[in-house]
Structure 1
């Protein structure tokens, strides 16, 4: 793969070292943890207090917004007071949008400056214009003239810069030439990179942030490929912007950041949450710990498949043979991934199904239950639910056929030595019209495939990754599923090449967290499930999902649906795009988001954007149905898509006006 050394083993991408003060990023440095203050920057005391709190929580780099020159001037006192408090070694970063003058002031006081290439010397008004090459080159010269003074001053002072591209703030110029695409994001950053390179300045970090993890992942991959083509090796700052709050925000962040870290990309990270920024730090530290536990020696030989059919820059769902999971739940490319819940035992099955009945909008379409022996097979209670029976090696195919009373799905682990057993179970499945879920590895499946291919008629099969001892398991669980998908592809034109793949999140798929594999805390399990399931779904792999690490089947099923929604694979509730607070925010984002969620959270399939200001608002909400954006202190602008339809509404009226707008467009339903 051009964007990473291996998609089957985590080998860290090599970069130049970039320093923000005494803190190094990239090179041999660990993954650095970042966050951002949310106070008004001109309130120096409040900003310093937040910096101290973030530093105490383990934040290694702290960003402070500088929306104008007066705010940028305050960075001098903030830096001085933060250093006096004992944190001289923790660098501060000025966040700049729109105003080169603010950047030129900020570079005098802090160790690093972030600029957004979409609005630093450009504009975004969704204007449509055909640029001739001459027009475009003239615009590039204007950008060169605007950005060069900052580059030269940073070089003189020994500062570093971040070129921080946002999907939501691509300029009209970029949009008209490249469209609203990952390629547009990459080209926007490369224009600024080439200017810096022209001045022999390499102290640059790059980011490609989007609220959609799929777009964000593709943009970072494409950026690395394009940089490698131009012999550029700058560190990457990873983040999913406007991810939201609570479980949903953590899931989106884990999908985007975790997927790239597994591929060896990423040198500093920020988990953006619509919460107090101090809550971002534990999530970021856990993600970094999981990535570091996977890092391999870059001189070692990459493991994995001889080929990889996934196009990492364009999403396409893997084609599969349709298969009925339940009477009303087909597995196919036309349908979203299906969800399976797990019962711990046959004796717990009835209680689990009773609990699952409370989930009207997020149903478990089948229930997995381990069957210990033939006696338990006979004792299965009637449930009216499709069951996936996990059969141990001690139960033979003949015993299964003799004691199975209803048409369920059979799950069994098969190794390369189980050819005869696979043939026998496949024959039973065909005879009894069952689907057979085969748990195996890519290497074992290659040995088993001829036995399947010889069967007539072909059995209906599902593939999933077998649990293996940690010492012999793949480099990471995502690698195992990628290898399995590749092993299936090589069977074409056999129908088995298009067998559905079931992503199982189990204790065996857990990554190390804080040095402890299989960490028992819920955050660690949430991150594991999000990274594994989300990264595969964003590559188009995965037709069934189960989260089997939770004792509560309702919680596990809800988590599975939330991950599917975070990956854009299945919408089961209102989608919220909400930015994290910062000094530019014009209202209290946390309470506003929670309040609007309470009023609109029942609108399944509706996408709402809640933005504190206009920096990324109109762009990030371009694919949202409705937007709620801070236009001025105490004033809200309401959007339909990317069009502002109501300006400067008093915030006290804005919630009801938003609901009225949703009703006018026929997307409102009364809550149950």
Structure 2
């Protein structure tokens, strides 16, 4: 793979009904119903709404054999309405259900973490090599009959691994790690390959975007080493709803699409399923705009590890770089005097050539170097390539340099080499700005320069959702690569500067680099959901929105919790119809609470644990 120049990964073709994926097929869009799969009428109606929005696959939960069999009626209803969209059965915990679903659906999703292995106990178990080998043989023996049914019915398979739902067996050898997720997938894939069954698509998901991206990168590398090129389904599980769901999904999915990885995507939002489709289409279409871009002559740094990147070593310039969290730089080109939201107060404000007389001096200012005054309080100069000579004679102990990749001249190199107090603000107008940003940072690494780098991301968006999706997608790979010391998000459209700043902070939080508000890890809901998910999420958010840095998992059922809320501090999990269990980390501390009392009990649990802040 070329870090700097976009091209789609070559993958095999998987036949899914009348809509194949992989190879040269378009990147497919999909969603999942949240109706009961036993309710034929509602499931058909919701599937059609998804299809009309542009969904190319519709997934439905199949908890048991009755639900699997009823896919025949749902399939018939969709066909009678004039649609040939493939249905995907979602199976957990019961391999027998997968056998039945393979007869009635065009594809079946199975989870290696619970297909043969028993439910997770989260206890430390140990296996000898012989015992482990016997467990693998047990998987093989159970998979082969399923594969034969799929062959007979021309049914495709998705092997779907989720962070936090690994089996105790995998956990015993690998822990809850990226390597464990990959091996969990590969154990199953090897059986499919051995049985000459190739209609297989792979997904590895996590609510933590960094883990999700790194694990997919590792999986692709492992498949290549074993001669496999199966297509990829991309998604960030439990991304949540609203701006957080959009931003987290765009970070994770966008980071992989930017490197040409991904053949079908689902943006999982805690909203109506059909609402996911326009967001996924915007993300896909934006990332594909870089196809056929002008060549970028970047050179990968020898110290960079794409599969397991660590943070780039930089010197600390005031609070930028070093071990500091990434900063947010804002722009107030017109002297915007609106009061700032203290949660999303930028670290620096760039004013261009005009420094307002009534600015908030508690926020450091950046002004163009030719308008900078040495005795101005808490103010720093910003240079460009035209003012490199003046940079050498500037007395400021912190300087900024706007620098595009093609502007990295010998003069710029000399300036950076002699002035470690310079913070680089990377610029790009390229069709593939990620490629140019990477090329610039790798050039700095190749030259042994440790100046911090802030990425200037500029847009002309009128709709906030468009800004959220595009900016988060553009920052995704840079954050995963470990090269982000800050983001300078600038939008020339009709979106308030404070909202743009909040978006920048949300991007850093979505990339797990800087926490500025409560983190909600909520599933999108499906036919297994045991309570009103959207209403409950709103109630919990209203009650806990001031708990900066706290992570709360809100899961519709036991399938998505506690394991798949992976690193949440607290969990609210559907236990039975109208009943909720509460978790602290992965430990269930209260069981079967009536739904109407569960939010209050969650708040009390947080207070009793000492994590509540008024």
**TM class by shorter-chain length?**
over 0.9
Matched-pair contact (CA < 8 Å) for 1:426–1:459: no
Cα displacement string for residues 598-618 of structure 1 (whole angstroms, at most 9, x for unaligned residues): 111111111110001111311
Whole-angstrom distance in 2 between the partners of 1:566 and 1:532: 13
Matched, 1:244 2:240: yes
1:128 counterpart = 2:124: yes
> What's the CA shift for 1:402?
6.8
Aligned length: 610
Contact 1:128–1:176 (8 Å) recurs in 2:
yes
Q: Does the alignment pair 1:100 with 2:95?
A: yes
1:370 corresponds to: 352
Aligned residues of 1:576 and 1:609 also touching (Cα < 8 A): yes
**1:510 counterpart residue number:** none
CA–CA distance in structure 1, aligned partners of residues 101 and 428 of structure 2: 53
Aligned to 2:108: 113
Report the secondary structure of 2:351's partner residue: strand
Corresponding position: 1:388 with 2:384? no
1:406: Cα distance to partner?
4.4
> How much is the aligned-residue C-alpha RMSD, in angstroms?
1.9
Q: Deviations over 1:104-154 (max 9, x none)?
A: 111111111110111011131112111111011000011111111111111
Q: Is the 8 A contact 1:534 1:564 kept in 2?
A: no
Report how far residue 521 of structure 1 moved: 2.9
Map 1:1-16; keep pairs closer than 5 Å.
5-16=1-12
Asked whether the equivalents of residues 407 and 434 of structure 1 are also in contact (C-alpha less than 8 Å), the reply is no
Q: Distance in 2 between matches of 1:450 and 1:166?
A: 45
- Cα deviation for residue 208 of structure 1 reads 0.4
| Structure 1 unmatched ranges of 5 or more | 325-329, 508-517
**Structure 2 counterpart of 1:512:** none
- TM-score, normalisation: structure 2: 0.96
Deviation readout 1:499-551 (Å, 9 max, x if unpaired): 111112203xxxxxxxxxx6643222211110122321122111122221154
Of 445, 452, 458, the residue aligned with 1:500 is 452
Q: Which residue of 2 aligns with 1:445?
A: 408
Does the C-alpha gap of structure 1 residues 303 and 69 become closer, same or farther in structure 2, counting only changes over 3 Å? farther
Q: Is the 1:634–1:651 Cα contact (8 Å) retained in structure 2?
A: yes
- Take 2:525 and 2:9, find their aligned partners in 1: how far apart are those partners? 31
Give the unaligned 5+ runs of structure 2: none
Shift of 1:436: 2.1
For 1:135, what is the secondary structure of its paired residue? helix
Q: Secondary structure at the match of 1:532?
A: helix
Structure 1 outlier segments of 4+, above 6 Å = 401-404
C-alpha contact 1:106 1:113 (8 A) present in aligned 2: yes
The one of 394, 399, 419 equivalent to 1:436 is 399
CA shift at 1:273, angstroms? 0.3
Give the match's secondary structure for 2:581: strand
Shift, 1:66, TM fit: 0.5
Query: Paired residue for 1:271?
Result: 267
Structure 1 distance, partners of 2:91, 2:384, is 55
Counterpart in the other structure of 1:637: 581
**TM-score between the two structures when normalised by the length of structure 1:** 0.87
2:559 is paired with a residue of what secondary structure? coil
Deviation for aligned residue 1:403 = 8.1
The match for 1:338 is 327
| Paired residues of 1:340 and 1:366 also in contact (CA < 8 A) | yes
- Report the equivalent of 1:522: 464
- Of the three residues 418, 423, 431, the one matched with 1:462 is 423
Structure 2 residue 38 is matched with structure 1 residue 42 = yes
Where do residues 486-565 of structure 1 align in structure 2 (5 Å cutoff)? Answer: 486-492=442-448, 497-507=449-459, 520-549=462-491, 551-565=495-509
Instruction: State the match for 1:143 in structure 2.
Output: 139
Deviation digits for residues 326-359 of structure 1 (CA, Å, limit 9, x no counterpart): xxxx224332111111112xxx32xx2x42x432
Whether the aligned pair in 1 keeps the contact of 2:405 and 2:428 (CA below 8 Å) is: no
Cα distance change, pair 410–624 in 1 and its aligned pair in 2 (3 A): same
Distance in 1 of aligned mates of 2:35 and 2:310: 42
Q: 1:462 to 1:22 in 2, by over 3 A?
A: same
Q: Distance in 1 between matches of 2:368 and 2:490?
A: 13
CA deviations over 1:64-83 (Å, ceiling 9, x no partner): 11011111011010011110
Which residue of structure 2 aligns with residue 360 of structure 1?
A: 342
Deviations 1:297-336 (A, max 9, x none): 9xx9874214364323334222221112xxxxx2243321
